[in-house]
Amino acid sequence: MDEMPTLADLLDLQEVDSAIDRLLDQRQSLPELEQYKAAHAESVRLGSELDVLEARHRELTLQVDKTEGELVIAEEKLGQQERRLYAGGMSARETENMRMDVENLRGQKARQEDEVLELLDQRELLEASVEQAKAAVESSARTEQALERKIAEEWRQIDAELARKEARKSDMIPGIDDDLLELYNQLRASRGGVVVGALDGRTCGACHMELSASEHHEVLKQSPPRCIHCPAILVP
């Protein structure tokens, strides 16, 4: 196989591989990916805050129910004692003791009523905080989902372009000498990036270093030509 067309084909292959590298890098470095990570972290944080608030709301509701239940018992006991007191038929001492018991029960009932009202106020404020937290979680989820859709669309476009480049690469490879292709693949595996460059005058298209006249002469005698400053395959 004539070396010059093969080298030219190899330079075209390098351009295709460089385009594929750029597309892969673009796929992994979309700005939306970092935005998505931040949005997801915010969703997790807000979700944790909501969990704490909802747990506190459940605890407070149980406390309200317990205190209201105790208040009902206190009211029933107070009613019983008041009926006994007003029914009469007791000695003066028994009446005084009963009156004091009724006063204590009334005080206990008043304190429990105040406690229930305070707990209800706390629960109302907490319910407002829970609703705000839910709204924040939903808003964050919408942001996260919008970023997911945008990333998916950008990846779809990039993947379509990658498929076209890979198809072109597959068409090009059969036209390149096997030994030259093996050297190219070895260089790509060990160095990555650009390992084939056009020889523009005496300048290497890969490392952009200029060869001296004698170096240029020696390079052109090699098969394939290789840059003395870098391992790149040169295409005259």
Q: What is the pLDDT of residues 133-176, one digit of tens each?
A: 999 999 999 999 999 999 999 999 999 999 999 999 999 999 99
Mean pLDDT of 10-33: 95
The single-letter DSSP state of residue 211 is P
DSSP H helices in 173-202: 178-191
Tens-digit pLDDT profile for residues 199-236:
999 999 999 999 999 999 999 998 899 999 988 999 98
How far is C-alpha 168 from the chain's CA centre? 35
Q: Classify residue 227 as exposed, middle or buried by CB count within 10 Å of its CB (0-12, 13-18, 19+).
A: buried
Helix (H, G, I), strand (E, B) or coil at 225: coil
Residue type present at position 119: L
**d(Cα 147, Cα 182) in Å, to the nearest integer?**
42
Sheet (strand 203-204) strand order: 203-204, 196-200, 233-235
Tens-digit pLDDT profile for residues 25-41:
999 999 999 999 999 99
Cβ neighbour number for residue 211 with a 10 Å cutoff: 20
Q: Is the domain defined by 27-174 classed in CATH 1.10.3720.10?
A: no
**d(Cα 25, Cα 163) in Å, to the nearest integer?**
15
* Residue 111 pLDDT exceeds 70: yes
Helix (H) or strand (E) holding 157: helix 92-172
Helix (H) or strand (E) holding 200: strand 196-200
Please state whether beta strands 203-204 and 233-235 pair in parallel, antiparallel, or not at all (unpaired).
unpaired
- For 192, left (φ over 0), alpha (ψ -120 to 50), or beta? left
pLDDT, position 49: 96
Residue type present at position 114: D
